[in-house]
Amino acid sequence: MKINTVIFTGHLGKDPFEQDTAKRTITKCTLAVNQGSGKDSIWFDLVCWGRFASEDLMKASKGDCVTVSGRLVQDKWTGRDGKERLGLGISCETVEVHAGPDAHDIGATERPYSKAPSPGSGTADPEDDLSDIPF
């Protein structure tokens, strides 16, 4: 059982890029997650170690809506001003790319968000008389 697993949907802050390490090639990028209500976005550094997550992330580009799952990590570094900084990152296990920058953040699917149900989707019309339903 994995205790430290998170899932976030947001937009990529820059194009993903590959970086060679001593043992393998990894894919990196940044993810902005909208908090809504006029609050600032939360930024995460993404690192994909596995082949499939890396391949999926490389299909995306800056501004694309993606959903990532993985392990939450905290990074420490010293800034140019000499002060210690903390950052949040996600060591990605899975990446799902949604339909471009216009995809809706919450519950995004492989098509852009639409307020109207598609014809024949089974959504009842409020004007319909539903008195003949047996339950």
pLDDT digit string, tens, across residues 68-112: 999 999 988 898 999 998 888 999 999 999 865 555 544 434 444
The residue-averaged pLDDT of 22-30 equals 91
* 122 found inside a domain: no
Kindly report the number of other CB atoms within 10 A of residue 46's CB atom.
24
Closest by alpha carbon to 89, among 26, 20, 24?
26
* 35 found inside a domain: yes
Kindly report the number of other CB atoms within 10 A of residue 111's CB atom.
11
Count how many domains the chain has: 1
Report the pLDDT value the prediction gives residue 28, as an integer from 0 to 100. 95
Average pLDDT across the chain, whole number: 79
CA Rg value for the chain? 20
Kindly report the number of other CB atoms within 10 A of residue 68's CB atom.
27
* 58 found inside a domain: yes
Q: What percent of the chain has pLDDT over 90?
A: 51
CATH for 23: 2.40.50.140
* 127 found inside a domain: no
The residue-averaged pLDDT of 37-65 equals 92
Answer with the residue of higher pLDDT: 27 or 22. Answer: 27
Kindly report the number of other CB atoms within 10 A of residue 43's CB atom.
14
Q: How far apart are alpha carbons 33 and 35 in whole angstroms?
A: 6
* 98 found inside a domain: no
* 60 found inside a domain: yes
Q: What percent of the chain has pLDDT over 70?
A: 71
* 110 found inside a domain: no
Question: Which residue range(s) make up the domain with 68?
Answer: 6-88
* 116 found inside a domain: no
Element of type H or E holding 84: strand 84-97
The residue-averaged pLDDT of 121-135 equals 49
